Amino acid sequence: MDPLPLSNQVVKRKLYSFLRQEEDEVALVGLSGSEVCDSSYLIDRNGFPFFVLEFIEAGTMDIILDNEAAKLRRGGLLCYGPSSMISMTVPEGETCTKHFIAINPKVLDEIGSFASLMSEGTRVLIDRVPVIQVLKFINLISDLANRSDSWDALSRMIDALGCYLLLTPQEKRSELEGAGEAYRAITRFISENFMSLKSLDEIADKCGYDKSYLCQLYKRYATVSPYQQLIRMKIGYACILLETTDLKVKVISESLAFEDPLHFSRVFKQKVGVSPSQFRL
């Protein structure tokens, strides 16, 4: 039996297995995949054995997660576990491209930050996850899948993705009209330019707003300040570079416009809990 019930109502699917050698057998400890879905797509689950992360690359998905309805668009992400009730459909006449990662509970504790992401219960990050950065993680995870000798590297990559998502600011649940549109424009600007931006003053100047107004917008619509969003995105991307490249810490620091490697290392440890060198081990 397939350990994760998958919908047959998909236009296209790619599926990858997470395998681990255990004594005399190869065990399935997780799955990942991508699906292109049309309006015939339906998932209606009331408990199943895996922890799941779903990420919307394109299109729209209507969900009801533990009796709470939401509409996920590009950049939308949700997490749910074995005790969750989840319904997922695609609006009539539309299509949706999504990715998922499913982890067997018996190995969840081996993936520290991913476990932390799941331990907070069901959650939805609506239109708030940088698509390009998350797709880089997903592609790297897929490249390591389907091999029983790659679980150590694969679990570290999933852990890095969890760390990145934990650092991603969440919106407060409120209607984004009027001033909210300005807030959305600012968050998009930061997401697209975080590598080169250095300060709140620079964000305010390039967005054409007073910095105190920026802070008021974020206080109303977000759970972090605009500068905290900037730093979290820098550190999240640093996790990708540390995990997937051999670039020196100094080079990563410069590419993310930190004052110097010491400043970068200090901020990284404050956010992640370990130094960049320790994270890479």
pLDDT digits (tens, 9 = 90+) for 66-87: 888 888 888 888 888 887 888 9
For residue range 12-27, list pLDDT tens digits in order: 999 999 998 888 888 8
Q: Average of pLDDT values for 156-183?
A: 69
Token pair 């939805």: residue? 124
Looking at the chain, the whole-number percentage of residues with pLDDT higher than 70 is 89
Backbone φ and ψ for 124, nearest 5 degrees, come out as -130, 130
Report which of 229, 239, 257 is spatially closest to residue 133, judged by C-alpha positions: 239
Residue 215 has pLDDT above 70, yes or no: yes
Domain boundary among 127, 143, 159: 143
pLDDT of residue 46: 75
216 Cβ neighbours under 8 A, 6+ residues apart:
none
Q: Average of pLDDT values for 176-180?
A: 59
Both 124 and 218 in a single domain? no
Both 134 and 196 in a single domain? no
Cα gap 81→49, rounded to integer Å: 8
Q: Average of pLDDT values for 134-144?
A: 87
Both 186 and 119 in a single domain? no
Q: Where are the beta strands (DSSP E) in the chain?
A: 12-22, 25-37, 42-46, 51-59, 61-65, 68-72, 77-80, 85-89, 96-103, 123-125
pLDDT of residue 134: 86
Residue 55 has pLDDT above 90, yes or no: yes
Mean pLDDT for the chain overall: 84
Please check whether residue 26 lies inside any domain of the structure.
yes
Host domain of residue 251: 179-280
Burial grade of 145 (CB within 10 A; 0-12, 13-18, 19 or more): buried
Please check whether residue 1 lies inside any domain of the structure.
no
Report which of 193, 195, 203, 200 is spatially closest to residue 256, judged by C-alpha positions: 195
Encoded tokens for 114:
């991913």
Residue 230 has pLDDT above 70, yes or no: yes
Both 241 and 130 in a single domain? no
Both 123 and 243 in a single domain? no
Cα gap 198→220, rounded to integer Å: 23
Both 184 and 234 in a single domain? yes
Please check whether residue 5 lies inside any domain of the structure.
no
238: CATH? 1.10.10.60
**Least confident interval from 188-192, 225-229, 257-261:** 188-192
Report which of 198, 194, 167, 190 is spatially closest to residue 279, judged by C-alpha positions: 167
Domain boundary among 117, 143, 169: 143
Cα gap 206→152, rounded to integer Å: 43
Higher pLDDT, 127 or 261: 261
Domain boundary among 97, 126, 143: 143
Q: Which of 117-121, 165-169, 218-222 has the highest mean pLDDT?
A: 218-222
Both 240 and 119 in a single domain? no
Residue 36 has pLDDT above 80, yes or no: yes
How many Å is the Cα radius of gyration of the chain? Answer: 19
pLDDT of residue 173: 45
Residue 223 has pLDDT above 80, yes or no: no
Please check whether residue 198 lies inside any domain of the structure.
yes
Please check whether residue 155 lies inside any domain of the structure.
no
pTM, rounded to two decimals: 0.67
Q: Are 86 and 45 spatial neighbours (Cβ–Cβ below 8 Å)?
A: yes
Backbone φ and ψ for 215, nearest 5 degrees, come out as -65, -35
Please check whether residue 131 lies inside any domain of the structure.
yes
Q: Are 230 and 197 spatial neighbours (Cβ–Cβ below 8 Å)?
A: yes
Instruction: Give the pairing type, strands 51-59 and 42-46.
Output: unpaired
Q: How confident is the model at residue 56 (pLDDT cuts 50, 70, 90)?
A: very high
Both 209 and 116 in a single domain? no
For residue range 84-134, list pLDDT tens digits in order: 888 999 999 999 999 999 998 888 888 877 777 776 555 666 566 778 878
Q: Structurally, how many domains does the chain consist of?
A: 2
Both 130 and 215 in a single domain? no
Please check whether residue 161 lies inside any domain of the structure.
no
Please check whether residue 211 lies inside any domain of the structure.
yes
Both 130 and 184 in a single domain? no
Both 131 and 246 in a single domain? no
118: CATH? 2.60.120.10
Q: Are 116 and 84 spatial neighbours (Cβ–Cβ below 8 Å)?
A: no
Both 38 and 129 in a single domain? yes
Q: How confident is the model at residue 169 (pLDDT cuts 50, 70, 90)?
A: low
